[in-house]
A and B are shown apart, each in its own frame.
Chain A
Amino acid sequence: MYNPYAVGTHVYLRHPTLADAEGAWHEWLSDEETTRWLGLRHWPNSVERQREFYESCRRGEDRLVLSIVDIATDKHIGVCNLSGINWVHHYCDIAIIVGDVEYRKGSYVLEAFSLLLKIAFLRLNMRIVKSSFSSSNDASQAIHDVFRFKEVGRLPGLLWDRGRYVDNVIAMLERGDWMKRNGLAEEAKMLES
């Protein structure tokens, strides 16, 4: 493992490297299937644009971008981030992409998502993690359901998806609920008092 920031059983998360930016990462963000659900990625990507993004990741404290790496092979398989981090109100947005199709089977995405939630709530002291996704994205709906995000609203017909407008679903997970479900009920009670 190189410079691990959070370690799971099969994947670990680390700061992106220039090699990541110049590797498969930039191609994932040109792929039609991978970018189908991303709000701002409908233009072809390039190594140059990915390098710029990589440089921007090294600055500022309102966004944490992490590479997802397979422990067994040390292969960069995806990227995840906490963005819009608000250090006053302690909330942020969560997003994840497993770019390498070979790793979309099984639980790699669940493990990376779980590590990222743990970082948000326990290391960065976030109170709320929120998310928004297309109502036609079954995988996004399922992962938010699995981790007990609550749907808190919808922007009807906001997003264009292959010939039709679909809703933008807004969901959030509160730290207290997350802690209670993960054996930290006492700590959650102390935070509430």
Chain B
Amino acid sequence: MKRFLLALLTVAVLAIGLVLWLGLREDDSHPSTTPDVASAELVARGAYLARAGNCIGCHTARGGQPYAGGRAIQTPFGAIYASNITPDRETGIGAWSADDFWRALHNGKSRDGSLLYPAFPFPNYSRVTRADSDAIYAYLQSVPAVRQINRAPELDFPFNQRWLLVGWRALYFRPEVYQPQPAQSAEWNRGAYLVQGLGHCSACHTARNVFGAQRQELSGGIIPMVNWYATSLTGEHGAREWPLEDLIAFMGTGVSMQGSASGPMAEVVRDSLQHLQDDDLHAIAVYLKSLPPDEVTPSAEQPLPGPEHKAFLQRGARVYEKHCVDCHGADGRGEPPHFPPLAGNRSVLVPVPVNPIRLLVHGGYPPSTEGNPYPFGMPPFGNLLTDEEAAAVLSYIRNAWGNRASVVASPQINRLRPVMID
């Protein structure tokens, strides 16, 4: 008995030790090779890379100072406020060294060693090279310092217990710089590096499990709390089916022959993608198009229409004829790039129809970009249509011109009527 207890104790200690090791391990095999962290050339390169990483997107509040933090990142576990990454010594990262910055980016730990919540996409940023990390560090140290005290996370118990991240990290995180695949072209590798690393595309485009860890790579899913469906980049109507030049136009200008950027993606184009060089956008597009197709298609929330929906769809067709046909055409082909096609449009056909509902009810504009400074917009039809009419027209659109997707029910419209601004 005594020996059994001893053995049990040994196993328990070893198990705890393993979790601690897995959860706390750091990869310190990448010392800095940057000679001068303040050279103008390095700062310029860092500015570009910071765009690619869209640091400004989370680290700037609406109307706030750039990089001073304060924007709430809403998660199913509570709100986490992005931190001040300006070079203010007291409230920002002015006192941080390039090594401290690397530790956060690559190992997911703050300067004092505390574990960072993965709302900061360090599982992606871990793939960034040390040289690029140093460049971003140099750039951030060059932006105007803003004194703005960080706001503590507002998380529910037990998620407010930071030490529990040890377990999360043990299960889901391993610090690792992107390893180029020799069988692939340099361009493909550049695309993979940007998509997996700084671009952190999977932060939205990969569904998460109940612990907030990412599942099947880039196959799409609801963005929790934000309540937009990040489309599958690998599934039907996904990136692999788009012509290369349309993917590049979409990322670079916000509009394309296939569809326009809306919701959170409009913000990503505005703050990040439109600023990337054409060769980088090309590389991203090449990589995305090479991804293997989805093995499983996410199940739809509602059934596909049957004969019992015939009158409902006919009603939708009448609403379409009255309100939609001028811009999107009787054939659903629109007048792209300014009025996107609805036939085969992946944002229209998402399995959980939050995007088409919100686009119909709230409307919206793609971003102003250098390539498309004065975008056309979608009027908000929320005031003009009843829940029933909106559900009917969306069900019609999702099943006309070769489209095939679930019917939309009026309670789904009603739930999404309030405008959510984060």
Do A and B form a real pair? Answer: no
B interface vs A, CB < 8 Å?
none
